[in-house]
Structure 1
Amino acid sequence: MKHQFVSRLPWAFIPTLYFASGVPYVIINTVSVIFYKKLGISNAQIALWTSFLYLPWVIKMFWGPFVDIYSTKRTWILATQLTMFFCLGLLAFSLQLPNFFFISLGILTIGAFISATYDIATDGFYLLALTPEQQAFFVGIRSLFYRLAVIFGSGILVFLAGKLEVNLKNISLSWTIALGVSALILAMIFILHRFVLPFPESDVKRQTETQTAIPFLQIITSYFRQQKILAILAFILLYRFGEAMLLKIASLFLLDKPEVGGLGLSTSDLGLVYGTFGVISLIFGGILGGLAISKYGLKKCLWPMALAMNLPNIFYIYMAYHQPSLNLVYPLVSLEQFGYGFGFTAFSVYLMYISQDEYKTSHFAISTGIMALGMMLPGIISGYLQQLFGYPLFFILVCVLTIPGMISMLFIPLKEEKQV
C-alpha cells in the first residue's frame, strides 16, 4: 500500500526526533564515562575504550548512501529507534552481570552504530518532510531539543542515578534503573513517531542503479584537492585537541576522591555541576558565538573564540591544585563550558565555510567525520596520560596541547569577504 503525504505540523515530530537523537549520543559518549567510573573501572580503561565509541560518527559518511538506497528515511528512523530501545535495555541489564564491562562495551558499540545511522536518517527526513521555509525556522528548534537531550542524559539521568545510589546503597542497580528509564523514554518516542511521522512523497526507496552513478571517488578527491588542504586537516584535527583530552577526564576528576587528586563530588552533584549548569552554559556560549560571527564575521572572531575556548582550561589546573569547595566549582566549570560553546561555534562555522562547492553536503560530512576523529584520538591517550602524570600535570599538559591547534589557524584559508 502506497502512503500519501500526510500534512502534519513539524512541531508534532521535530522536537522528539532530535531529542531521540541526543539521548543515545550522550549516554554512549558521556554518561558511559560516569557509570564506568562509579563501577570501579580505571581512568585509563575508561578513556581508551569509550573514545573508540566515537568511531561510528567518524565513518558514518561511508554507509550514508545505503540509507538512501534501502527503504525510506521514515522506516530507518522507526527501526533504529526501536533497536536503540533494546540496546539501552540490554545495557541496563548488563550492569548486573559479573563481567559487565566488556559486555556493556559491546552493547554501547552496537548502539553507537545505530545512533549514527539514526542521525543520517533523521537529517535526511528533515530535508524531505519540511519546506525550505520550515527548515530555516526549525533549525534552531532541533538544536534546542538536541541540547535538552544532552541535559537530560548528562544532567537529569546522572542526578537520578546519584539519588538512587544514596537510597538503594547499590551503584550498579541505581544505574540499571536510570538507564532503564532512558530506554522507556525512547520506547514512548518510538510509539509516538509511529503515528505522527508524516509520509513525504519524496521519501521513497531509491533505485540502486541511480545510486551507482554517484561519483563518490570524485566527491572525496575534490575535498582533498582544496587549497591548503594540509592546513585545513591540521586545523580540524588539532583545534579541539586539548579540549578533547579534557572532555574524557573532567567528569572523572570531579568524581575522584580528594586523596587521589579529585574533587570528590557525588554523582548527583556531578549531574548538576557538569551535566546541567555546565551544558546550559555551553548552550548560551554557542548562541553568543553565533551572534558574534553574524555581526563581526568569522575572520575577526576566530582568534578571540579560540582563546575563549582554551584559556578557561586553566580553571582545572587551579581546581587540581587547590581542590575548592563545591560553591566555587559550579562557576568555574560553567565558565569553562561557556568558553567551549563560544569557541566551538567558530570551528563549526569554518567547517561550513570550506563546504561551499557543488558537493557541499558530502564535504561537510567528511569534515565532521574528521572532526570526530580529532575527538577520538586524544581521548584514547588521555586516561593513560592522566594516570601517568596525575591530575595537576595532566591539566597543564591539556593547556599546552591547545597551542598546536591555534598555530594551525595561521595557515588555513580564510577571506574576510567570504560570507558564511
Structure 2
Amino acid sequence: MHARAVAPRAASPACPYHSTDGYPMKLSSKNTVGLALILGSVTALTPLAIDMYLPAFGLIAEHFGAGQSDAELSLTVFFIGLALGQLMYGPLADRFGRKPPLVIGLALASAATFTCALVPTISDFILLRFLQALGICAGAVISRAIVRDMFEPVEVARFFSLLMLVMGVAPILAPILGAQVALAFGWQAIFYFISGFGFLALLAITLLLEETHQPNPGVQLLRALSTYRDILRNRTFTGYALAGGAALAGMFGYITSAKFVLVDHFGVSPEHFGFFFGANAAGFIVMSQVNRWLVQRYSFHQILRVALPVVLLSALGLLTATLTEAPLPVFIIPLFTFIAVLGVVAPNTMAGALADEGHRAGAASALAGSLQFSLSFVSSGIIGITEATSPLLMCLVMTACAALSLLCFWSSARQTQQIQAQ
C-alpha cells in the first residue's frame, strides 16, 4: 500500500524539509537527517516533560507542602492530557494541514510549562501539567503524520527508528540533567529549561518545515468520532496500536515507579539515579537502531512475533527477581531487556498501525497515540494511587501489560489471516 502523494512543489532552500517530487521520499534523501532532527526535537518534548522532573518529585512535594502521591498524580494527569489532546489534534491536522495545529500546540506547551514554575499550589501545578500535556502531544501526533505523508510504509518504520535515535537522547539525559538542575537552581529551573526547549522547537518548525499535507475542507471536524470509529474497525490498525500501547504502558509503569524502586528500595543515591535510568533508555535507543536493519529483511509481523514474547519473558524474569528478593544487579538485567526490546516494538507497531491509513494519517496517528497514553494512564495510575512498599506492584503491572500486548498482537494476526483467506 502506497502513501498518499504529497503535492509537487519546488524545493525551497529556506524550508528544505519536504518531498519535492510529489511522491513519498526514500531514506537516502539528503534531507532525512535534518528532518529527523527537527521532528525528533519536537517529539522529545514528551520524554523531557516526563523524565526530567522525576528526580525532583520530593522537592516539588516539599515546596507545595504536599505528599509524594500528589507529585505522582501530576504525572498521571499528564498522561490524561496526552491521551485526550491527541484525539483533538488528529482531525485538526487532516483538516487544516500539519503546521498550524503543530505551531499552536507548541506555543501552548511552552507557555504552560513556564507557568508550572510560578503557581502557588499543588492543585494549580497539576492543572498546568494537564495543559502542558495538551500542547506537547501535538508534536508526537503531527510528527508521525508528517512521516506518514512523506515515506512508504516500510520506510516509515526505518524513519521512526531514526527518529528514536534523536528523541531517545532525551530520556537518557533528562533525569541526569533534571537532578543536577534541581540541586543547583531549584526544581522550577527544570520547567524553565523545558519551556525554552519548546520555544526553540517552535522556531524550527516555523522557519524550516514546509507543509506536507494541504488543507482539506472535506474533513468535517464534527465527524471526528465517526472517523475514529471507522479506523478502529480496521483490525490491522487496532491490533498493532493496542499491542504497541500495552507494551509502552508497561514501560510507563516502570517510569512512575522508578524513583521509589531504585532510590527508596534498592538504595541508589539520587545523584546516581539518572545514570541507572539513562542506561535503560540507552538500550532502547540501541535496539531502535538495530530495528532499522531488521525492517530491511523482515516484515512488521515477523519482527513482532519474536520481540513481543521476549518482552513478556523479561517481565516474568523481573517478577521472579522481585519474588526471590534478588540483588540490584540481578533485578536490572530483565528490566534492561524489557526496556531495550521496546526499541524494536515501538516503531514497528506504530508503522503497522499507520500502514493502511495514509489518507487519514493525522486521525490514525492521534488515535494510536491516545490508545497508548490511555493505557499508560491506567498503568501509572494503578501504581500512583497505591502505597507500594516493594517493586512487586510495578513488576505485576509490567507483566500484565506485556501479556496484553502479545495477546492483542496474536488476536489481530489471526483475524487478519482469516479475512485474507476468505
Report matched runs for 1:344-383 at 5 Å: 344-345=346-347, 347-352=349-354, 355=356, 362-383=363-384
Paired position in structure 2 for 1:88: 113
Q: Which amino acid aligns with 1:283?
A: I
Ranges in structure 2 where 5+ consecutive residues have no aligned partner: 1-9, 18-30
Q: Deviations over 1:215-271 (max 9, x none)?
A: 656533433444699988875665555444334213431132xxxxx1232333222
- Candidates 192, 197, 204, aligned match of 2:208: 197
Is 1:394 matched with 2:393? yes
Paired position in structure 1 for 2:173: 156
- Candidates 76, 79, 99, aligned match of 1:54: 79
CA–CA separation in structure 2 for the residues paired with 1:293 and 1:203: 26
Report matched runs for 1:171-250 at 5 Å: 173-194=185-206, 196-197=207-208, 200=211, 207=217, 210-212=218-220, 216=224, 219-226=227-234, 238=246, 242-250=250-258
Paired position in structure 2 for 1:337: 339
Paired position in structure 1 for 2:47: 26
2:267 alignment partner, SS class: coil
Paired position in structure 1 for 2:385: 384
The 3 A distance-change label for structure 1 pair 297 and 214 is same
Q: Which amino acid aligns with 2:169?
A: I
1:295 alignment partner, SS class: coil
CA–CA separation in structure 1 for the residues paired with 2:143 and 2:12: 18
User: 1:34 deviation in Å?
Assistant: 3.6
Report matched runs for 1:133-144 at 5 Å: 144=162
Paired position in structure 2 for 1:277: 279
Q: Which amino acid aligns with 1:156?
A: L
11-20 vs 245-254, which deviates more? 11-20
- Candidates 261, 266, 271, aligned match of 1:263: 266
CA–CA separation in structure 1 for the residues paired with 2:105 and 2:238: 36
User: 1:88 deviation in Å?
Assistant: 2.5
CA–CA separation in structure 2 for the residues paired with 1:362 and 1:175: 36
CA–CA separation in structure 1 for the residues paired with 2:75 and 2:148: 32
36-45 vs 48-57, which deviates more? 36-45
What is the identity percentage for the equivalent residue pairs of Structure 1 and Structure 2?
Answer: 9
The 3 A distance-change label for structure 1 pair 160 and 35 is same
CA–CA separation in structure 2 for the residues paired with 1:9 and 1:230: 34
Paired position in structure 1 for 2:56: 35
Paired position in structure 1 for 2:23: none
22-31 vs 138-147, which deviates more? 138-147
Is 1:6 matched with 2:8? no
The 3 A distance-change label for structure 1 pair 293 and 343 is same
CA contact (8 A) 1:263 1:323 kept: no
The 3 A distance-change label for structure 1 pair 174 and 19 is farther
Ranges in structure 1 where 5+ consecutive residues have no aligned partner: 257-261
CA contact (8 A) 1:44 1:383 kept: yes
Q: Which amino acid aligns with 1:270?
A: F
Paired position in structure 2 for 1:306: 308
TM-score, normalised relative to structure 2: 0.72
User: 1:337 deviation in Å?
Assistant: 1.9
CA–CA separation in structure 2 for the residues paired with 1:279 and 1:69: 35
1:411 alignment partner, SS class: helix
User: 1:358 deviation in Å?
Assistant: 6.1
User: 1:47 deviation in Å?
Assistant: 4.5
User: 1:68 deviation in Å?
Assistant: 5.1
User: 1:108 deviation in Å?
Assistant: 1.5
Q: Deviations over 1:338-397 (max 9, x none)?
A: 1332344553354246x4686566445433322322222222112234x25x32432452
Is 1:403 matched with 2:403? yes
Is 1:64 matched with 2:90? yes
Aligned length: 388
CA contact (8 A) 1:18 1:143 kept: no
TM-score, normalised relative to structure 1: 0.72
Higher-Rg structure is 1
Q: Deviations over 1:42-68 (max 9, x none)?
A: 554444442232234433234433345
The 3 A distance-change label for structure 1 pair 147 and 34 is farther
Paired position in structure 1 for 2:135: 114
1:252 alignment partner, SS class: helix
140-149 vs 336-345, which deviates more? 140-149
The 3 A distance-change label for structure 1 pair 125 and 144 is closer
2:178 alignment partner, SS class: helix
The 3 A distance-change label for structure 1 pair 163 and 320 is farther
User: 1:279 deviation in Å?
Assistant: 1.4
CA–CA separation in structure 2 for the residues paired with 1:192 and 1:238: 32
The 3 A distance-change label for structure 1 pair 54 and 161 is closer
CA–CA separation in structure 2 for the residues paired with 1:299 and 1:205: 34
Q: Which amino acid aligns with 2:403?
A: I
Q: Which amino acid aligns with 1:186?
A: G
2:187 alignment partner, SS class: helix
Q: Deviations over 1:113-163 (max 9, x none)?
A: 1112344454556677x6x69x998985675455434433x3324223333
CA contact (8 A) 1:44 1:382 kept: no
